[in-house]
Chain A
Amino acid sequence: MDSVLKISDLAVDFKTDTGLARALVNVGFDVPRGKVTAIVGESGSGKSVTANCIMRLIQPPGRIVGGTIHFRPERTDPFEIVSLTKKDPRLQELRGGLISMVFQEPMTALSPVYTVGNQVAEAILCHRKVGRQQALHEAAEMLDRVGIGDIDRRIKMYPFEFSGGMRQRVVIAMALVCHPEVLICDEPTTALDVTIQAEILTLIKDLQSDLKNSVLFITHDLGVVAQLADQVVVMYQGRVLEIGTVRQVLKTPMHPYTKGLLAAIPGLAPKGEPLATIASVVGNLDITTPHPLTTLADGRQVSLPPGKLSNDASDGRPATKQASTGAAS
């Protein structure tokens, strides 16, 4: 498999008053080129910390204490991200140039005091030697591409004049305007209405199949994962528990934690019965003891003790049961 990012043994600690908090413990997975990889997990599982490591955005009291992230872009020579010094010019090229990021809160990601045209053009001016007019022209093209019509007027508008969904389109335009090889989306639709979420997901999916870039998509919503991802990485307490294709992980989950995550989705549960929770699915199985990831014959990787490596789909709720939300019809 051709991987654009190869993350190995990544470890991050945060210094707190009560000692070291281990945010990531030996996290390792590959991001395949030209595909969508989703990282799922609950808050505190380390999804965003992993993304921030790739961009080298971990700030004190956090610190990357080990591991490597090998990056193999097509445009330039491969390099390792964790060992880059702060002054290395490749770091600047990486951030926003080769890899860029879309955040959860579009209003926080945009500056309130610059027009949207200026902000998208700034991304170009940071990375390429082009004139202001040219940058604004390219910004307009990208804004048009993410579905913001009436560009001549809108390019001069400020973020507060846009709705949440339109703002997120601007952020996506900013992220894509330098043609990054990897786009990291950190919960980009969590703050949006379900209808707007559907529009943004469709946009990200369409752009990805046009531009053929690699996408790392962080979310806690398994519905979003099912619709967007090719590969899924399940994280829990700073560790990777399961990696597989979207069908492997969502239809025949192996790790009890993954089964619990799926069972807790309200749309899948019979009405009138209590919802399954992770605790009720996992029961007294131990999921906190780390086990190394084992690669199985079908290519998936799972962190389970050797005795538990056969997939018994009968326990846990079968994920293939149709979500009776009406979305299917």
Chain B
Amino acid sequence: MSPPTEDMLLQVEGLSKYFDGVAAVQDVSFDVRRSETLGIVGESGSGKTTLARCILRAIDPQEGVVRFNSSTGWVELQHMSAKALIPLRREMQMIFQDPFASLNPRMTVREILEEPLIIHKVGNRAERLDAVVDMLNHVQLEQDSLTRYPHAFSGGQRQRIGIARALILHPNLVVCDESVSALDVSVQAQIINLLEDLQNQLGLTYLFVAHDLSVVQHICNRVLVMHQGRVVESGAVDDIFANPQQNYTKLLLSAIPSPDPDVPLRPLDRHELGL
């Protein structure tokens, strides 16, 4: 693998993670450039979430190197102690799938958004409130949301709160793990638009884990296709969608039901493809 360059934010090399001897992620290598959106697609069990979690060190990979271009230069995340990782956590954040499970029901929106600032000792009380209000504006929520609890919000609004929490520390790398899968199509469109706006405003880099290929096609620049823990194909999203090389990618693409009734669904057969 070529050495990392300054326009990269992340470089993963030979990453593997085993659970009880079963390989969940096996020998995965890729680069992420600054301000791009890299999609990771695959079926459930293909290892995409495990890969994302290994990168953020939510779980520890067994093999491989995860290089991150932090504000203080390149660091290797895989060997760092939990303590040494704390300052880096400001720079890498996660937006989760389920807007109901990922917010503490007993905290107000203000407390939820302020907590990362308190943990990282950012600003005084007044400055933190300013930051929270500013972030609420960014995600297009009303100021009177501050004193309310998550249950008072719809799914789309909750996802906005989750996005605000991830972005309040001004991270560079944001991992979106199925962040729009639980939403209705129209709300999903709003959240996708919001993620794209915020990326442009704040220069964010997204690692976008998703199983919905049409969402990936819209939002991502490049994509990794994962199957049984390995990356089977990667490249520019338009190339891969227009001209998939690997059977597994062809299988995934053939299974998407087209919203045009005159384009019949003809899913390929997994066994005929030898998968």
A interface residues (Cβ-Cβ under 8 A, vs B): 42-43, 164, 193-199, 201-202, 220-227, 246-247, 250-251, 260-262, 264-269, 271, 274-279, 319-320, 322-328
Among residues of A, the one whose C-beta sits closest to the C-beta of B196 is A274
A-B CB contact pairs (8 Å), 9 listed: A195-B267, A199-B267, A223-B257, A266-B212, A277-B190, A278-B186, A322-B260, A326-B241, A327-B254
B175-223 residues with Cβ-Cβ distance < 8 A to A are 184-190, 192-193, 196-197, 211-215, 217-219
B245-266 residues with Cβ-Cβ distance < 8 A to A are 251-265
7 more CB-based (< 8 A) A-B contacts, given A220-B185, A323-B260: A220-B184, A223-B258, A261-B185, A319-B259, A325-B217, A325-B258, A326-B256
The docked-state distance in angstroms from the alpha carbon of A326 to that of B213 is: 10
Tell me whether B116 is interfacial, beta carbon within 8 Å. Answer: no
- The residues of B that contact A251 with a CB separation of less than 8 Å are 260-261
Flag if B185 contacts A194 (CB, 8 Å).
no
Flag if A267 contacts B256 (CB, 8 Å).
yes
Flag if B189 contacts A327 (CB, 8 Å).
no
Among A247, A250, A265, A319, residue most surrounded by chain B Cβ atoms (within 10 Å): A265
- The residues of A that contact B4 with a CB separation of less than 8 Å are none
Tell me whether B242 is interfacial, beta carbon within 8 Å. Answer: yes
B144-192 residues with Cβ-Cβ distance < 8 A to A are 155, 184-190, 192
Determine how close the nearest CB of chain A comes to the CB of B224; give it in whole angstroms: 17
Flag if A277 contacts B241 (CB, 8 Å).
no
Tell me whether B244 is interfacial, beta carbon within 8 Å. Answer: yes
Determine how close the nearest CB of chain B comes to the CB of A140; give it in whole angstroms: 23
Flag if A268 contacts B259 (CB, 8 Å).
yes
Flag if B261 contacts A323 (CB, 8 Å).
no
Determine how close the nearest CB of chain A comes to the CB of B242; give it in whole angstroms: 6
Determine how close the nearest CB of chain B comes to the CB of A62; give it in whole angstroms: 20
Q: Which of B187, B241, B252, B258 contacts A195 (CB 8 A)?
A: B252
Q: B interface, how many residues as a size bin? A: 35 or more
Among residues of B, the one whose C-beta sits closest to the C-beta of A320 is B260
The docked-state distance in angstroms from the alpha carbon of A28 to that of B18 is: 54
Among A194, A267, A320, residue most surrounded by chain B Cβ atoms (within 10 Å): A194
The interface residues of chain A, by DSSP majority, are classed as: helix
Tell me whether B270 is interfacial, beta carbon within 8 Å. Answer: yes
Tell me whether B44 is interfacial, beta carbon within 8 Å. Answer: yes
Flag if A275 contacts B218 (CB, 8 Å).
yes
Determine how close the nearest CB of chain B comes to the CB of A258; give it in whole angstroms: 12
Flag if B258 contacts A264 (CB, 8 Å).
no
Determine how close the nearest CB of chain B comes to the CB of A168; give it in whole angstroms: 14
Flag if A42 contacts B187 (CB, 8 Å).
yes
- The residues of B that contact A193 with a CB separation of less than 8 Å are 43-44, 211
Flag if B259 contacts A194 (CB, 8 Å).
no
- The residues of A that contact B259 with a CB separation of less than 8 Å are 222-223, 225-226, 250, 262, 265, 267-268, 319, 323
Flag if B218 contacts A266 (CB, 8 Å).
yes
Binary interface encoding of chain B residues 232-247 relative to chain A, with 1 for a CB under 8 A from any of its CBs, else 0: 0000001001101000
In the A-B complex, the 5 residue pairs with the closest CB atoms: A267-B214, A223-B257, A198-B267, A198-B255, A266-B218
Q: Which of A42, A201, A279, A328 contacts B258 (CB 8 A)?
A: A328
Contacts A42-B185, A220-B185 hold; do A269 and B218 have CB atoms under 8 A apart?
Answer: yes
Among B185, B242, B253, residue most surrounded by chain A Cβ atoms (within 10 Å): B185
Contacts A261-B186, A267-B214, A269-B218 hold; do A201 and B257 have CB atoms under 8 A apart?
Answer: yes
Contacts A194-B213, A201-B257, A266-B217 hold; do A327 and B196 have CB atoms under 8 A apart?
Answer: no
Contacts A195-B43, A223-B258 hold; do A328 and B190 have CB atoms under 8 A apart?
Answer: no
- The residues of B that contact A43 with a CB separation of less than 8 Å are 155, 184
- The residues of A that contact B217 with a CB separation of less than 8 Å are 266-267, 271, 324-325
The docked-state distance in angstroms from the alpha carbon of A327 to that of B69 is: 37
Q: Which of A42, A319, A322, A327 contacts B256 (CB 8 A)?
A: A327
- The residues of B that contact A262 with a CB separation of less than 8 Å are 259
Among residues of B, the one whose C-beta sits closest to the C-beta of A275 is B189
- The residues of A that contact B196 with a CB separation of less than 8 Å are 274
Among residues of A, the one whose C-beta sits closest to the C-beta of B270 is A195
Determine how close the nearest CB of chain A comes to the CB of B67; give it in whole angstroms: 29
Flag if A250 contacts B253 (CB, 8 Å).
no
Flag if B212 contacts A324 (CB, 8 Å).
no
Determine how close the nearest CB of chain A comes to the CB of B192; give it in whole angstroms: 6
